[in-house]
Amino acid sequence: MNHLVIAPLLLPLLAGTALLLLRSSDTPVRRSLSILATLVLVGLSLALLLHVAEHGVQVYQLGNWIAPFGIVLVADRLAVIMVLITSVLAACVVVYAARGSDHAGRYFHILFQMQLFGLNGAFLTGDLFNLFVFFEVLLIASYGLLLHGGGRKRTRAGLHYVVLNLVGSTLFLFAVGTLYGVLGTLNMADLAQRLSAVPPEDLGVVRAAGLLLFGVFALKAALAPLHLWLPGAYGHTSAPVAAMFAIMTKVGAYAILRVHSLMFGPDAGPLAGLLDTWLLPLALLTVVAGTFGVLASRRLSEQAAYLVIVSAGTLLTAFGLGGAEAFAAGLYYLTHTTFAAAALFLLAGVLGDVRGATQDRLVAGPALPSSQLLGGVFLLIALAVSGMPPLSGFIGKWLILQASLGQPDMLWVFGVLLVTSLLGIMALARSGSRLFFKIDETASASVPPRIGDLGAPLALVIAGIAMVIYAGPAYEFAQATADQLAQPGGYLAAVLQSVAAGGAQ
């Protein structure tokens, strides 16, 4: 067993615990510890990614209990790329937060590290009940982070978010319980094997459990019609938290992709393609509903929240198309959209600070100091988010459209994605002109920007630009990941080999 697999879980857990013990120490100590831990996490994730890319799927048996009796962590390509995206995003966000916005509460960094623990656990686990537990870990950390700083609107949005997710957790448990009751296992690889041989009389129950699971993940991924909680929660929280939450909808998308490809994939016999009927139409509906929100938003952070819904819809469109090519396109788009959405949230935070009392409302405000720099960064991020060439959003959308060529739903995908892209560009252009060109002389004075605050959003933009320059290798990795997903045989063999061998090594 390679202990590198569990490192991305242990590091944030230990860092969070250390921060809890050091909670009364000076702010610089806590900040530097949190930043250091996150930077080391980036290194560890990269090392794990390179290891998995070279040596194939890595399985870590917790307590050395052989699968399917014990809980396993499984690092396949999909899991490690998600862990790497999370840690890179977290590094940028924590640097931004350490410039002042973590000051509103003492527990920001503790909750932040625990959130990373939950996220990495959810990506790496190979056990359905363990997935539930890590979902709860990342959710309870996100509840604390969401409410960070306080305020009326934030409390109200937080209450809605917490209650919805508690109901979601209950449904998740019902689904897990049903699957265990019928199939007698919770290991995802073992579940996948047993699902292909479900006796016909149990098919209805298993189908209900599978769709219940899909409903829960759809709630996390903000798939229409379960997307209405997102704008309130993301639009009213602080900028670094909203930026970190850019990965949260992707956890839902990841879970859908995992279940869709592993448990209800083409080999699942009578249950193959259980989600096919629902995924693509709902994803396209999400894109449309999100775009209406983008057009109607009155604040930049609210607009960014609706853009997260649009990106979740686009992503699930790719996953809903099915097949290795569409999965690869979706994974490339997922990486791009996480960074781009986070950059937009961070920039909205900077602009909100600079514009004084006008905040990030999309109305005429005070004349901005160094508006060329701020406007330039906004232009770059808007280009990336809306999917205009030459930035990574264009390549992502182009790959998805290419993957839909020749599919029966091609016209729907092309129509919805192209029209909503145009509307998104219009909305962002309008926001930009209101933020930077329209000046209200009577508005309260602006605050000079702290140029350093732009470092984190710029780093995320540069990550996006790197994805354009190295689009070839990035797409090759995405394709290898998609091949692994489209043929779950390798995953199953890696997890269950210990049973065949008659024991742990």
Per CB under 8 A, the list member of 2, 178, 196, 407 interacting with other proteins is 178
Q: Does residue 106 touch other proteins according to CB under 8 A?
A: no
Query: Tokens at residue 161, please?
Result: 């978010």
Q: Does residue 140 touch other proteins according to CB under 8 A?
A: yes
3-state DSSP call for residue 187?
strand
What is the nearest approach in angstroms of other proteins to the Cβ of residue 121?
Answer: 14
Biggest CA-to-CA distance, the chain = 78
Per CB under 8 A, the list member of 10, 166, 411, 466 interacting with other proteins is 166
Q: Does residue 180 touch other proteins according to CB under 8 A?
A: yes
**Number of residues counted as binding other proteins (CB under 8 A):** 27
Nearest to 469 by CA among 397, 383, 392, 402: 392
Q: What gap in Å lies between CA 173 and CA 182, rounded to an integer? A: 14
Q: Does residue 126 touch other proteins according to CB under 8 A?
A: no
**Token match 């396993």: residue?**
72
Q: Does residue 479 touch other proteins according to CB under 8 A?
A: no
Who contacts 432 (Cβ-Cβ below 8 Å, separation ≥6)? 375, 378, 379, 382
Own/partner contacts of 485-488, CB < 8 Å, gap of 24 or more, are: 485/78, 485/257, 485/261, 485/262, 485/324, 485/327, 486/261, 486/265, 486/323, 486/324, 486/327, 488/192, 488/261, 488/262, 488/265, 488/267
Per CB under 8 A, the list member of 39, 46, 105, 143 interacting with other proteins is 143
Q: Does residue 27 touch other proteins according to CB under 8 A?
A: no
Q: How far from 74 is each of 121, 188, 220, 262, CA to CA, in Å?
A: 10, 10, 22, 13
Q: Does residue 70 touch other proteins according to CB under 8 A?
A: no
Q: Does residue 2 touch other proteins according to CB under 8 A?
A: no
Whether cis (ω within 30° of 0) applies to the bond prior to 270 is no
Residues 181-200: x/- map of binding to other proteins (CB under 8 A)? x----x--------------
What is the nearest approach in angstroms of other proteins to the Cβ of residue 129?
Answer: 6
Q: Contact region for other proteins (CB under 8 A) — 77-85, 166-174, 273-281, 431-439? A: 166-174
CB distance 186 to 176 below 8 Å: yes
CB distance 58 to 6 below 8 Å: no
Per CB under 8 A, the list member of 47, 173, 285, 425 interacting with other proteins is 173
Q: Is the Cβ of residue 129 or residue 292 nearer to other proteins in the bound state?
A: 129
Sign of the CA dihedral 431, 432, 436, 439?
negative
Q: Does residue 104 touch other proteins according to CB under 8 A?
A: no
What is the nearest approach in angstroms of other proteins to the Cβ of residue 132?
Answer: 8
What is the nearest approach in angstroms of other proteins to the Cβ of residue 214?
Answer: 18
CB distance 347 to 381 below 8 Å: yes
What is the nearest approach in angstroms of other proteins to the Cβ of residue 271?
Answer: 20
What is the nearest approach in angstroms of other proteins to the Cβ of residue 211?
Answer: 17
Q: Does residue 174 touch other proteins according to CB under 8 A?
A: yes
Per CB under 8 A, the list member of 14, 50, 163, 208 interacting with other proteins is 163
- Footprint (CB under 8 A) of other proteins, residues 204-233: none
Query: Tokens at residue 10, please?
Result: 């242990």
Q: Is the Cβ of residue 209 or residue 381 nearer to other proteins in the bound state?
A: 209
Who contacts 279 (Cβ-Cβ below 8 Å, separation ≥6)? 256, 260, 316, 319, 320
Nearest to 396 by CA among 485, 463, 330: 330
What is the nearest approach in angstroms of other proteins to the Cβ of residue 159?
Answer: 5
Q: What gap in Å lies between CA 429 and CA 423, rounded to an integer? A: 10
Q: How far from 207 is each of 274, 433, 478, 500, CA to CA, in Å?
A: 7, 50, 30, 29
Per CB under 8 A, the list member of 25, 32, 155, 370 interacting with other proteins is 155
Q: Does residue 71 touch other proteins according to CB under 8 A?
A: no
Q: Contact region for other proteins (CB under 8 A) — 106-114, 147-155, 212-220, 443-451? A: 147-155
Q: Is the Cβ of residue 83 or residue 176 nearer to other proteins in the bound state?
A: 176
Q: Is the Cβ of residue 176 or residue 247 nearer to other proteins in the bound state?
A: 176
What is the nearest approach in angstroms of other proteins to the Cβ of residue 59?
Answer: 20
Q: What gap in Å lies between CA 356 and CA 358, rounded to an integer? A: 6
What is the nearest approach in angstroms of other proteins to the Cβ of residue 202?
Answer: 13
Q: What gap in Å lies between CA 80 and CA 66, rounded to an integer? A: 22
Q: Does residue 3 touch other proteins according to CB under 8 A?
A: no
Q: Contact region for other proteins (CB under 8 A) — 108-116, 148-156, 272-280, 469-477? A: 148-156
Measured N-to-C along each axis, helices 410-436 and 276-296 cross at an angle, to the nearest 10 degrees, of 20
Write out the residues near other proteins by the rule CB under 8 A.
129, 133, 136, 140, 143, 147, 150, 152, 155-156, 158-160, 162-163, 166-167, 169-170, 173-174, 176-178, 180-181, 186
